[in-house]
């Protein structure tokens, strides 16, 4: 019997999450290699609209639609219980999902509930002598690791944003299979209260052609003056990685990354940014990336177009001078 | 409130890693270790709750004897005592095992809240805290930036970070498990008198084998190979003194990338 690969499809406000489509493309690829079949899995309330949308756009052997009023909004207890029943009943060889914040909250709970192996934040997979291994980054993204789950347990894996391109997704239709989830015995413990949007004020980094991004390596708030001067000479906007914003050196609306903005300028200059994956997710769509960092092993150099291993406090003033002189 | 603050230590931020000869782990000789960043923020949140609501913070660590340095720092920051599950050979080397061992160590402890870092800087799995919650049968919330405890009502509110600049408050009954995001607040430095006092605080040591956890039969993850990413697709590194490297960069941005 062909192995079943299940892919969890997340959606919000009637839209399917990009990361889920990447995960589905990953699933299609794995199924093609392994001779298995892919099934999309969606959890939602009774409203059929989102399910229809997925069924009509993604090619899978089926779209398993788990339906229940308590699945209308994310609740870890209800979501884990519905998926636990599904995994126990259908025994998929693999359950794939996007490595998004909701699944970081959900997947480890589900893994324990089904006594499964969970490999988070994968950037791919391959086969070695011992079979299937998942590739992921460790040690602040500086090293790659091939991870092998133990056999005899359900296997869940989450995929890092952008690790598989959505362009690789085979479009098509999936037959819709409705299932009513049984959540009668599942207590409601965690209650969602208000949602707060980070202030989106005057700055719209998503439209900027040139962005100077600044990270932890800038060391002090006073040093931002130099960065502002460079941005001015370049006609650029300034963006920041998380530590800079956490220190209140810059407004949160300038944060780039998974918890901030996704940007795709023609030129991105990363100053003192080591390249935590949460930041890279937000800026790797930039056309040309220049990275300045003192650490030659900083992961930002893995995605940069041009790299300068050096001290930004020397490079930036020299760069300002050069651009002014020309 | 009785709070358990989970803490592990990891190689320091500026470590230049070397892979060991078996390609399964890093060379550990000469490593400088520090408290995992998110765990330090978790401890800070725990200490703030201790100050606001009374009670006590206990540190829980699974690690080798050398973890004592980080535990003492945590005690100097203000935790009252610590539990160290002794795992000198690093047999607890994946999140399922870590959560199981911690759940077992907490079995007879009384607590209202467990705080852990959202993820570690070595493995970066971001699983242990949530797995621990599920094994203890407790509600949880991840990637927490802010906490409002209501110990009288036996409830806790947490502000979770979400994607694209959104945050959400959630509320759940105590006891619960929260995983804390780095940067949630300013982490305190221990004062000298507190460092001295911390030397006398109790670290209760539990040999791993005493917990009776079967590390073999549980779902396991194994590092089959650890390596630096292959060079393909890496940046073109521009070299030279400051002036020439800047000249070269500007030329490339103008003529090659055509972005200036």
Task: Decide if B130 and A105 are in contact by the 8 Å CB cutoff.
Answer: yes
Note the pLDDT of residue A202.
Answer: 66
Q: How far is A217 from A213, CA to CA, in rounded Å?
A: 11
- The first and second tokens of residue A109, run together, are 């709970």
Whose tokens are 């923020």? That residue is B41
Interchain pair B183, A310: CB under 8 A: no
Calculated CA dihedral for residues A220, A225, A228, A232, nearest 10 degrees: -160
A58, A34 Cβ separation under 8 angstroms: no
Instruction: Name the residue with higher pLDDT: A258 or B158.
Output: B158
Rounded Cα distance, B10 and B23, in Å? 19
For residue B214, the tally of other CB atoms under 10 A from its CB is: 8
Closest by CA to B147, choosing from B118, B99, B115, is: B115
Asked whether the predicted pLDDT for residue B231 surpasses 80, the reply is no
Q: Please state, in angstroms and rounded to a whole number, the distance separating the CA atoms of residues A146 and A133.
A: 6
Length of chain A: 326
Question: Measured between CB atoms, which of A113, A139, A150 is closest to B26?
Answer: A139
The DSSP call for residue A168 is G
B255 interface with A at CB cutoff 8 Å: no
Angle at B235 between CA B232 and CA B241, to 5 degrees: 140
Q: What is the dihedral of CA B122, B126, B131, B137, to 10 degrees?
A: 130
Whether A147 and B221 lie within 8 Å, measured CB to CB: yes
Contact between residue A255 and residue A270 where contact means Cβ atoms under 8 Å apart: no
Q: Is B29 on the interface with A (CB under 8 A)?
A: no
- Virtual torsion, Cα A255, A259, A260, A264, nearest 10 deg: 110
DSSP 8-state class, residue A324: H
Question: How close does chain A come to B72, measured CA to CA in Å?
Answer: 24
How many residues comprise chain B?
260
Residues in chain B closer than 8 A to A303 (CB atoms):
233, 235
Residues B162-216 pLDDT 10s: 877 789 999 999 999 999 999 878 899 999 999 999 999 999 999 999 999 999 9
DSSP character for B187?
P
Calpha distance B132→B135 (Å, rounded) = 5
> What residues pair up with A149 in beta bridges, in sequence order?
B221
Pick from B123, B64, B59: nearest CA to B94: B123
CA–CA distance, B27 with A153 (Å, rounded to integer): 31
Cβ pairs A/B, distance under 8 A:
257
Q: Which of B123, B126, B249 sits opposite A290 (nearest CB)?
A: B249
The reported pLDDT for the residue numbered A193 is 95
Tell me the shortest Cα–Cα distance from B56 to chain A, in angstroms: 25
CB contacts, 8 Å: A146 with chain B: 223-226
Closest CA to A237 of A281, A274, A199, A201: A201
Q: How high is the pLDDT of residue A198?
A: 62
**Residue B215 at interface with chain A, using a CB cutoff of 8 Å:** no
User: How high is the ipTM of this complex?
Assistant: 0.93
Q: Is B124 on the interface with A (CB under 8 A)?
A: yes
Q: In whole angstroms, give the CA distance from residue A68 to residue A47.
A: 9
Nearest of A117, A318, A124, A138 to residue B220 by alpha carbon? A117
**Min Cα–Cα distance to chain A from B211, Å:** 19
Question: B170: which chain A residues are within 8 Å (Cβ-Cβ)?
Answer: 190-193
Residue of chain A whose Cα is closest to the Cα of B222 = A148
> Whose CA is closest to A308, among B12, B55, B238, B148?
B238
Contact status of B231 with chain A (Cβ, < 8 Å) = no
Q: What is the pLDDT of residue A171?
A: 83
The pLDDT of residue A136 = 96
CA atoms within 13 A on the CB side of A155: 18
Closest CA in chain B for residue A320: B246
Of the partner residues B161, B221, B233, the one whose CB lies closest to the CB of residue A101: B161
> Which of B23, B25, B97, B127 is the best mutation test for A, with the most CBs of A within 10 A?
B127
* Candidate from B19, B121, B159 with C-beta closest to A140: B121
Can you spell out the DSSP letters for A112-145? HHTT-EEEEEEEEEEEETTEEEEEEEETTTTEEE
Q: For each of chain A's 326 residues, which pLDDT tens digit applies?
A: 578 999 999 987 767 888 999 999 999 999 999 889 999 999 999 888 878 887 887 788 999 999 999 999 999 999 999 999 999 999 999 999 999 999 999 999 999 999 999 999 999 999 988 899 999 999 988 899 999 999 999 999 999 988 998 889 988 888 999 999 999 999 999 999 999 876 556 678 888 999 999 999 999 999 999 999 999 999 999 999 999 998 889 988 899 988 888 898 999 999 999 998 889 988 988 999 999 999 988 999 989 999 999 999 999 999 999 999 98
Q: Where are the alpha helices (DSSP H) in chain A?
A: 18-34, 49-57, 76-90, 101-113, 224-234, 242-246, 277-283, 312-325
| DSSP code string of A215-264 | -GGG-SGGGHHHHHHHHHHHT-EEEE-HHHHHTTSS-GGGBBSTTSB---
Q: Is B226 on the interface with A (CB under 8 A)?
A: yes
- pLDDT at position A181, please? 96
pLDDT band, residue B232 (cuts 50/70/90): low
Q: Report the percent of chain B where pLDDT is more than 90.
A: 88
């Amino acid at each position: 019997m062909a192995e079943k690969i299940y892919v969890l499809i997340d959606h919000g406000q009637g839209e399917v999450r990009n990361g889920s489509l990447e995960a589905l493309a990953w699933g299609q690829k794995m199924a093609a290699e392994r001779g298995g079949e892919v099934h999309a899995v969606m959890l939602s309330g009774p409203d059929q609209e989102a399910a229809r949308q997925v069924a009509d756009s993604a090619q899978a052997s089926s779209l398993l639609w788990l339906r229940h009023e308590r699945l209308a909004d994310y609740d870890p207890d209800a979501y884990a219980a519905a998926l636990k029943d599904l995994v126990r009943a259908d025994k998929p060889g693999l359950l794939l999902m996007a490595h998004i914040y909701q699944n970081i909250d959900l997947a480890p709970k589900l893994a324990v509930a089904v006594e499964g192996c969970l490999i988070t934040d994968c950037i791919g997979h391959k086969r070695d002598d011992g079979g299937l291994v998942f590739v992921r980054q460790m040690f602040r993204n500086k090293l790659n690791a091939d991870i092998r789950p133990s056999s005899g347990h359900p296997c869940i894996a989450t995929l890092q944003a952008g690790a598989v391109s959505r362009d690789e997704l085979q479009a098509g239709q999936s037959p819709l299979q409705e299932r009513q989830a049984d959540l009668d015995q599942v207590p409601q413990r965690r209650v969602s209260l208000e949602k707060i949007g980070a202030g989106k004020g005057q700055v719209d980094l998503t439209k900027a052609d040139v962005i100077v991004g600044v990270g932890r390596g800038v060391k002090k708030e006073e040093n931002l003056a130099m960065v502002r001067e460079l941005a001015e000479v370049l006609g650029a906007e300034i963006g920041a990685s998380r530590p800079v914003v956490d220190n209140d050196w810059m407004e949160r609306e300038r944060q780039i990354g998974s918890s901030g903005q996704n940007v795709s300028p023609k030129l991105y200059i990363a100053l003192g940014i080591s390249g935590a994956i949460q930041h890279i997710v937000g800026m790797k769509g930039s056309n040309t990336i220049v990275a300045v960092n003192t650490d030659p092993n900083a992961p930002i150099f893995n995605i940069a177009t041009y790299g300068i291993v050096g001290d930004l406090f020397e490079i930036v003033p020299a760069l300002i001078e050069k651009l002014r002189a020309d | 409130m009785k709070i358990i603050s989970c803490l592990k230590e990891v190689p320091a931020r500026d470590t230049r890693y070397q892979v060991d000869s078996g390609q399964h782990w890093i060379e550990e000789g000469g490593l400088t270790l520090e408290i995992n960043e998110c765990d330090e923020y978790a401890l800070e949140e725990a200490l703030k709750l201790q100050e606001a609501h009374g009670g006590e913070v206990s540190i829980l660590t699974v690690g080798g004897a050398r973890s004592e340095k980080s535990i003492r720092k945590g005690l100097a920051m203000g935790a009252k005592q610590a539990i160290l599950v002794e795992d000198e050979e690093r047999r607890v080397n994946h999140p399922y095992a870590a959560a199981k061992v911690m759940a077992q160590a907490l079995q007879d402890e009384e607590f209202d809240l467990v705080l852990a870092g959202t993820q570690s800087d070595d493995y970066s799995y971001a699983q242990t805290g949530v797995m621990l919650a599920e094994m203890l049968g407790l509600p949880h919330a991840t990637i927490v930036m802010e906490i409002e405890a209501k110990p009288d009502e036996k409830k806790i509110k947490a502000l979770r970070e979400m994607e694209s600049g959104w945050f959400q408050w959630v509320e759940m009954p105590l006891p619960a498990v929260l995983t804390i995001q780095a940067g949630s607040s300013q982490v305190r430095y221990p004062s000298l008198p507190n460092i001295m006092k911390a030397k006398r605080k109790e670290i209760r040591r539990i040999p791993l084998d005493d917990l009776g956890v079967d590390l073999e039969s549980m779902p396991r993850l194994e590092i089959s190979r650890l390596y630096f990413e292959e060079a393909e697709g890496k940046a073109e590194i521009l070299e030279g003194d400051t002036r020439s490297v800047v000249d070269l960069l500007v030329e490339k941005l103008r003529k090659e990338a055509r972005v200036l």
